[in-house]
Structure 1
Amino acid sequence: MQLARPVGREAASRKYDILSALMAFALAQDKHVQRQVMRLMALITTRYNWQRDELTMGQAEIARLWSVDERTVKREMARLRAKGWLVLKRQGARGRVSCYGIDLNRMMEDTRPAWPLIGEDFVERMTGRDRGAEAGQGGAPTNVVPLRPVPSPDRDGGLWARVQARLHAEDAAIYGAWFHALTEIGQEEGCLTLAAPTRFHATYVQSNLRERLMRALRREDPSIREVRVIA
């Protein structure tokens, strides 16, 4: 995916979209992830330079903002770098603090499963499905963040590939957010087992999208009577 950096006339609305995705993602996770994302959002809203992609702030300042000690800051910043959301641009030295960038593309890709929790309009805006997606082809400028849509899978890859292609044709946005990341584990006695990247992802599909998934499965293979999604 390629995310246009939120600068210029439409910067404010794009920033809100990014922060909304972070918020929805965090609220769907456990308390540890929620706290981590809240800390990152605090850095973004107080010290991040969107135009230059620079976050320059000393550990003592971060500790004060987060109400923690500096050891906690070191651990949390390391976790955010390992996650790929923070990128070290310049190592701190004597008299100079470290400078970080934020990988917005990675961050938005990781939060994609939570987009439908905000609303269908948000998913459409982020995937460029509404009219504003045509702005680069002569339409009026909009606040659409141009992300690359998930392509349709090859139907020649077996049962799950055929089901994925059908789900993509029915709703590309829902497919990209929830079904694209599922992988087939196996099939036994009429039950198809799929693996999701996280427990939340698996629970959401089982609770909210199971009927849609079963309809697509039965159309491709009527012998399928059950589907399990595990993390």
Structure 2
Amino acid sequence: MQLPRPIGREAASRKYDILSALMAFALSRDKHIQRQILRIMALITTRYNWQRDELTMGQGEIARLWSVDERTVKREMARLRAQGWLVLKRQGARGRVSVYGMNLNQMLEDTRSAWPLIGDDFVSRLQPAETPKHAVSNVVSLRTVHVADGDGSLWSAAQACLHAEDAAIYGAWFQALADAGVDANALTLAAPTKFHAAYVASNLKERLLSAVRRIDPTVRDVRIVA
């Protein structure tokens, strides 16, 4: 899913959608997840610049906002970065605090299971934010679409998810990708040609990563090579 940056005429509704998804997801989880999401929501609502996608706030300020010590702030910020929700845009230096961005698309994807708890109208409102099928299925595959037998691997499980989501796109682009292993929290997939690799990386990587992360949330990236 690619969510438009929350600016312009629909900015307010998009912001509420993101915060609503976080809230509903937190309420459906245990107290540890609830506390973590409450903390990220506090950063979003008090200091996040939506238009510039920037959170500029020192560890001391965050500790005061969260009512914790700075060691807790360091641990929690590291968890949020590892989770893919926070992105370090500029490392802090002497006299200057770090600048973070918010991966709003990842937040929505990770909270997708809680959308129905808000209501069908919420789900239908967010679904159009996904990549339109006609934009990525302009190449008709003449090959038989085949889903790999479940061999217990991460990629075979992700293939089943991708096929269930859209068999046409799976057959045209994902079926030909071969598992090249997982290393340093990244799954590497081999494409048959450089063009194939470039197209998937440019147009379908978020959909691909989303499916992989539903199987193994520790994976933070998918590399496409030829």
- When normalised by structure 1's length, the TM-score is 0.60
Q: What secondary structure is seen at the aligned counterpart in 2 of 1:36?
A: helix
Counting matched residue pairs gives 156
1:20 is matched with: 20
Matching residue within 96, 108, 130 for 1:147:
130
Please report how far the alpha carbon of residue 122 of structure 1 lies from its aligned counterpart in structure 2 after TM superposition: 0.6
Distance 1:94-1:31 versus aligned 2 partners, 3 A rule: same
Which aligned segments of 4 or more residues in structure 1 are displaced greater than 6 angstroms? Answer: 195-198
Name the CA distance, whole Å, in 2 between partners of 1:17 and 1:72.
Answer: 28
Name the CA distance, whole Å, in 2 between partners of 1:104 and 1:44.
Answer: 11
Determine if the alignment matches structure 1 residue 157 to structure 2 residue 140.
Answer: no
Please report how far the alpha carbon of residue 157 of structure 1 lies from its aligned counterpart in structure 2 after TM superposition: 2.7
Name the CA distance, whole Å, in 1 between partners of 2:73 and 2:147.
Answer: 46
- The 5 Å alignment of 1:1-231 reads 1-128=1-128, 146-148=129-131, 156-157=146-147, 165=164
1:210 is matched with: none
Higher Cα radius of gyration: 1
- When normalised by structure 2's length, the TM-score is 0.61
Give the AA of the match of 2:42: A
Query: For each residue in 1:9-58, what CA deviation from the matched residue of structure 2 results, as whole angstroms up to 9, or x when unmatched?
Result: 11111100000011111111111111000000000000000000000001
Query: For each residue in 1:80-136, what CA deviation from the matched residue of structure 2 results, as whole angstroms up to 9, or x when unmatched?
Result: 0000000000111111111000011111111111111111111110002xxxxxxxx
Please report how far the alpha carbon of residue 159 of structure 1 lies from its aligned counterpart in structure 2 after TM superposition: 9.5
Please report how far the alpha carbon of residue 156 of structure 1 lies from its aligned counterpart in structure 2 after TM superposition: 4.0
Distance 1:7-1:155 versus aligned 2 partners, 3 A rule: same
Give the AA of the match of 2:15: K
Distance 1:115-1:168 versus aligned 2 partners, 3 A rule: farther
Distance 1:123-1:155 versus aligned 2 partners, 3 A rule: farther
Q: What secondary structure is seen at the aligned counterpart in 1 of 2:89?
A: strand
Contact in 2 for aligned 1:26/1:37 (Cα 8 Å): yes
Name the CA distance, whole Å, in 2 between partners of 1:48 and 1:8.
Answer: 16
Name the CA distance, whole Å, in 1 between partners of 2:145 and 2:24.
Answer: 33
Give the AA of the match of 1:147: E
Aligned-pair identity in percent equals 72
In structure 2, runs of 5+ residues without a counterpart are 137-143, 151-159, 168-209, 218-226
Q: What secondary structure is seen at the aligned counterpart in 1 of 2:111?
A: helix
